[in-house]
Chains A and B, each alone.
Chain A
Amino acid sequence: MEFLQPRSLPDALAIMAERPDAVPIAGGTDVMVELNFDRRRPEAILDLTRVPELGAWDRSDGGVRVGAGVTYTRAIAELAGDLPGLAIAARTVGSPQIRNRGTIGGNLGSASPAGDCHPPLLAVGAEVEVASAGGARRVPIDEFFTGPKQSALEPDELICAVHLPAATGPQQFAKIGTRNAMVIAVCSFGLALDPAGGRVGTGIGSAGPTPLRAGEAEEFLEGVLSSEDLWSSRAPLGEAAVARFGELVAAAARPIDDVRGTAAYRSHALGVLARRTLGWAWDEHRTGRS
């Protein structure tokens, strides 16, 4: 095995052009488990922790560009104002030790259906910035996940950053697990309300071959909120509308039975999470308090 440790993004991309078989590693929270358990023996491993371009985030054009190497701990500490949904999801990841090392780019690279960052990214329509030695491109998050642990990333590409709009309204995330810490989600749900644009965004985790959006639920709730002028009146949501939103989210999932839970349980729990997060988010919209 070769250990490659580039000191700049161009150097890292040049290595990937020559060695597309190299396995990138950042926080190691997924890759090291595979190495430690003899599940993977790559010919080369590419350490990204010394690539300074990946560790930065900045605001631009009303949005935030989050470098792939930003850890969950930093997302919680530094991005909760601009990107509350992502920060809440980051807070549910693992333990302090894991959040200190694990990165947003690594979560995307692993492309697990259960990745905690994915629902909030789906809910705001994020774009993933990937690059090869030939140049950079942006992949809409809806097109990024192509299957279980599979993504649109080409073998010679690296994930450089993710672009998200700054929040204009309440965002929420919730997940189900056997305890509050150190769990892979049985299922999870992210919600983003955009009062300025009249938009509702959703993301479902761990209840399908990829993270999913609940498009019908989004359209339904947008219709209710605009036709009843609720965005500006800030009146309470009707129980029937909240219940229907939960049903549509549950219906959008494509869960399976596995060691963490049954498909039926996941669908049921997603309906609960959808209603619950909508309640929290709408309360925040009504009162202005998070």
Chain B
Amino acid sequence: MRVSCTINGEPRHADDVWEGESLLYVLRERLGLPGSKNACEQGECGSCSVYLDGVLVCACLVLAGQAEGSEVVTVEGLAAGDDLHPVQEAFVEAGAVQCGFCTPGLIVATHDLLARNPSPTDPEIREALAGNLCRCTGYEKVLDAVRLAAGRGLWTATGDPSGRGLPSRSGAPGTRGGDDAGPRAGEAGT
């Protein structure tokens, strides 16, 4: 089947997609976007993290057809040409890249964290990156990189300091019910 979606701002389509194929496979093997890494294929490692309609997801757990008509942003969509995104710059400066395999997923997950929470606490950083595994065990430098990126104060409530913007979070089907259905302040425990 054919799958069409917007990827990093460009309309793209892939033909001859097998119906049981993941979005990750489409990105890497059919559309030449190998930045999202293929490791665990079960949502455990986070190295394939991408945005799907503004929501951080593991591309390996999205069925290709589920992305039809959606907006996808991969790690390739964060840098502007040769100009690294501030999150990427922070990872380089902090030495948060060892073998580099987990880095794309960590970059996208960090981008999502800082877009939602420009000044995260250490526990908030740890929780936000809990689904991204680094087998070089370079987590301390990763934490340094996130603090560095956050500390530059580039992030605002409107999100991406690169100014290029990301799709809004409109992906969830349906509407929130209830006449008083707004998000609640109380956190749900730890």
Which residues of A line the B interface, CB within 8 A? 1-3, 5, 25, 27-29, 31-33, 35-37, 41, 45, 47, 49-59, 65, 67, 69, 71, 74, 76-78, 80-81, 84, 87-88, 90-91, 94-98, 100-101, 172-173, 180-182, 290
Smallest beta-carbon distance B126→chain A, Å:
9
Report yes or no: B172 in contact with A55, Cβ–Cβ below 8 A. yes
Report yes or no: B131 in contact with A69, Cβ–Cβ below 8 A. no
Q: Which residues of B contact A36 (CB under 8 A)?
A: 22, 41-42, 60
Report the count of interface residues on B (CB-CB < 8 A). 45
CA distance A54 to B174 in the complex (A): 7
Q: Which residues of A contact B58 (CB under 8 A)?
A: 97-98, 101
- Nearest A residue to B108, CB-CB: A97
Report yes or no: A54 in contact with B173, Cβ–Cβ below 8 A. yes
**Contacts A1-B19, A45-B63; A98 near B184 (Cβ below 8 A):** no
Please tell me if B43 contacts chain A, counting CB pairs below 8 Å: yes
Report yes or no: A180 in contact with B130, Cβ–Cβ below 8 A. yes
Could you tell me the dominant secondary structure of chain A's interface residues?
mixed
**Contacts A59-B177, A88-B188; A182 near B127 (Cβ below 8 A):** no
Which residues of B line the A interface, CB within 8 A? 1, 18-20, 22, 41-44, 46, 49, 55-58, 60-63, 65-66, 68, 109, 112, 127-128, 130-132, 172-178, 181-184, 186-190
Report yes or no: A78 in contact with B183, Cβ–Cβ below 8 A. yes
Give the number of A-B contacts (CB < 8 Å). Answer: 154
Q: Out of B44, B63, B184, which one reaches A28, CB within 8 Å? A: B63
Q: Which residues of A contact B112 (CB under 8 A)?
A: 96
Report yes or no: A52 in contact with B131, Cβ–Cβ below 8 A. no
CA distance A240 to B55 in the complex (A): 48
Q: Which residues of A contact B20 (CB under 8 A)?
A: 1, 35, 41, 45
Report yes or no: A181 in contact with B130, Cβ–Cβ below 8 A. yes
